């Protein structure tokens, strides 16, 4: 006897009106059911995510409907998440009490992301060209405290500074290890994410 599932018209309409692209090659590469579930979940979470989202282990435990104890669920989740991160480089941190998902590149780049990447590449080429001209004309800038948005500061150089990435540093929108200013000078690390307001958010 064949198994089948009937989807309501409302559910079909929801899927049609709110599509989230996934990479079928990634799905086929993941062998474990939990790894596939985590991939689907992460794909949904990072889509249109503009600030870090913190989810408690208890929330994840309830969401994934595990029939094991919370301790065993955390161990299985971490192991399956490792498999997912080998094929999808999502920005996520795992702590003893919670999991934090950061704004990331979607598994399948959106049109907006593709255009943004192309624009950023063009800007980097222009910036590199200008940087070469500045270095040829004068002494090297070894770093200074740059003020932005009236009262915030970051230790940077004139070539490195960009107000949007400075705001990402201030708000903690990227992990400290990937922040250009934290990598440039250690003095920026203690100020990383000072303006971030982490709060519990719905899973979906």
Q: Which position has the higher pLDDT, 13 or 180?
A: 180
Give the model's confidence band at 204: pLDDT under 50 very low, under 70 low, under 90 confident, else very high: very low
pLDDT in tens, 86-138: 999 899 999 999 999 999 888 776 666 667 767 777 777 767 766 655 555 45
Q: Of 98, 34, 18, nearest to 67 (Cα)?
A: 34
Q: Of 152, 192, 153, nearest to 174 (Cα)?
A: 192
Helix, strand or coil for residue 140?
A: coil
DSSP code at position 6: P
Q: How many residues does the chain have?
A: 204
Helix, strand or coil for residue 39?
A: helix
Q: Of 107, 148, 123, 103, nearest to 19 (Cα)?
A: 107
Q: How far is CA 142 from CA 12, 45, 159, in A?
A: 57, 39, 10
Give the model's confidence band at 82: pLDDT under 50 very low, under 70 low, under 90 confident, else very high: very high
pLDDT in tens, 136-166: 545 566 889 999 988 899 999 988 999 999 9
User: Do residues 79 and 72 lie in contact, with contact meaning Cβ atoms separated by under 8 Å?
Assistant: no
Q: Which position has the higher pLDDT, 68 or 129?
A: 68
User: Any idea where the domains of the chain sit in the sequence?
Assistant: 9-101, 139-193
Predicted TM-score (pTM) of this structure = 0.51
Q: Of 167, 198, 202, nearest to 181 (Cα)?
A: 167
Of 9-13, 27-31, 55-59, 174-178, minimum mean pLDDT range: 9-13
Half-sphere exposure of 49 (CA within 13 A, CB side): 28
């Amino acid at each position: 006897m064949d198994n089948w599932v009937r989807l309501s018209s409302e559910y079909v309409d929801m899927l049609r009106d709110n599509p989230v692209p996934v990479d079928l090659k990634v799905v086929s590469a993941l062998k474990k059911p939990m790894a596939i579930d985590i991939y689907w979940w992460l794909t949904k979470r990072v889509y249109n995510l503009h600030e870090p989202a913190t989810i408690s282990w208890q929330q994840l435990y309830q969401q994934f409907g595990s029939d094991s104890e919370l301790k065993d669920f955390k161990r299985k989740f971490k192991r399956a998440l490792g498999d997912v991160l080998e094929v999808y480089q999502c920005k996520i941190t795992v702590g003893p009490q919670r999991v934090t998902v950061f704004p990331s590149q979607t598994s399948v780049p959106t049109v907006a992301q593709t255009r943004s990447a192309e624009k950023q590449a063009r800007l980097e080429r222009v910036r590199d060209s200008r940087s070469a001209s500045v270095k040829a004309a004068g002494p090297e800038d070894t770093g200074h405290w740059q003020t932005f948005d009236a009262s915030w500061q970051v230790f940077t150089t004139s070539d490195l500074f960009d107000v949007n990435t400075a705001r990402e540093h201030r708000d903690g929108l990227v992990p400290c290890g990937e922040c250009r200013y934290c990598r440039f000078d250690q003095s920026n690390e203690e100020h990383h994410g000072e303006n971030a307001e982490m709060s519990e958010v719905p899973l979906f």
